[in-house]
Amino acid sequence: MKYDVTIIGSGPGGYVAAIRAAQLGFKTAIIEKYPTLGGTCLNVGCIPSKALLDSSEHFHNALHNFKEHGVDINEPKVNMAQMIKRKADVVKQNTDGINFLMKKNKIDVFTGVGSFVNKNTIKVTKADGTEETIETAKTIIATGSKPSTLPGIDIDKKRVITSTEALELKEVPKHLILIGGGVIGLELGSVYSRLGAKVSCVEYADSIIPTMDRALGKELQRVLKKQGMEFFTGHKVSSAKAKGKEVTVVATDAKGKEVTFTGDYCLGSCWPPPLYRWFRLREHWP
């Protein structure tokens, strides 16, 4: 099997590149290690989180805003199983759409882990251990990203979780602790805050969404505080551990005082402090 272009990874970067290459007349293949196409964004990122945001907004409006509009209903209840099912249906619609586009553009799909034998030969290792090789003139690497963590944070994927597990919870947390005030943590924190959870955000930097404009961070924090979330900026997390159904997060505040947070779930959505320092240094460059 010989191809003009092969793409490793089927997320938004990969599948769009594959479609464009095929449209330009290149014989194209795409390799994806997971059973469904679409990468992190469609499967465990943007699309499912937006689906939950949409559902949680409906619940929040029914609970707080309907009466103002003259809509009287009994007090709404969260059906977490149905909310997660709807999210899964939205994801399936999108991934099925990518499959359709691959077929429409005559792009061959290989399921397995792609690795280079040499610059023009790629080995695809399938889940059952079998292998096949393909020849390619050019290769685009679009392997995407995975959740990051820091030393001391013991992710067990049950109580100390990543964004992937946060999209599959079977209950609304009583107290969700966010490690990091970036876009992913705040987005999912907002979902569960609307559904009734107490949400505490512990951020190393002196403001939330620190890679973005400070005015944006200030306004977002104001909105989320109004929603009920609490923020602890300038706090360096040293550990996060689960014991039974309880999670303990230990941090040091800006004055060097140790602070302990206790909840039933902890979402590690941090990004490394050295990266923050690099962004802050950059502000002083000409």
In a domain, 148, yes or no: no
pTM: 0.87
Domain assignment present for residue 147? The answer is no
- DSSP class of 25: T
pLDDT of residue 1: 87
Are both 118 and 178 inside the same structural domain? no
Q: Residue 250 has which token pair?
A: 């230990």
- Tens digits of pLDDT across the chain (286 residues): 899 999 999 999 999 999 999 999 999 999 999 999 999 999 999 999 999 999 999 999 999 999 999 999 999 999 999 999 999 999 999 999 999 999 999 999 999 999 999 999 999 999 999 999 999 999 999 998 777 778 889 999 999 999 999 999 999 999 999 999 999 999 999 999 999 999 999 999 999 999 899 999 999 999 999 999 999 999 999 999 999 999 999 999 999 999 999 999 999 875 444 343 334 434 433 3
Supply the CATH number for residue 62's domain: 3.50.50.60
Per-residue model confidence (pLDDT) at position 124: 97
Query: What span, in angstroms and rounded, lies between the C-alpha atoms of 176 and 229?
Result: 10
- Based on the fold, state whether residues 18 and 134 are members of the same structural domain: yes
Question: Is residue 241 situated within a structural domain?
Answer: yes
Outline where DSSP puts E strands in the chain: 2-8, 28-32, 108-111, 113-118, 121-125, 131-141, 160-161, 175-179, 198-203, 230-233, 236-243, 246-252, 258-263, 265-268
Same domain, 35 and 122: yes
**Does residue 116 share a domain with residue 67?**
yes
Is residue 155 in some structural domain? no
Shared domain check, 269 and 216? yes
Last residue of a domain, one of 108, 141, 174: 141
Residues 263, 173, single domain; the answer is yes
127 and 167 in a single domain? The answer is no
Is residue 9 domain-shared with residue 137, that is, in the same domain?
yes
Is there a domain that residue 76 lies in? yes
Supply the pLDDT for residue 143. 93
How many domains does the chain fold into?
Answer: 2
Cα(113)–Cα(110) distance, rounded to whole angstroms? 9
Task: Please give the pLDDT value at position 270.
Answer: 56
- Angle of helix 183-194 relative to helix 214-227, nearest 10 degrees, comes to 20
171 is in which domain, residue-wise? 160-282
The separation between the first and the last C-alpha atoms of the chain, rounded to the nearest angstrom, is: 51
Verify that 127 and 240 share a domain, yes or no: no
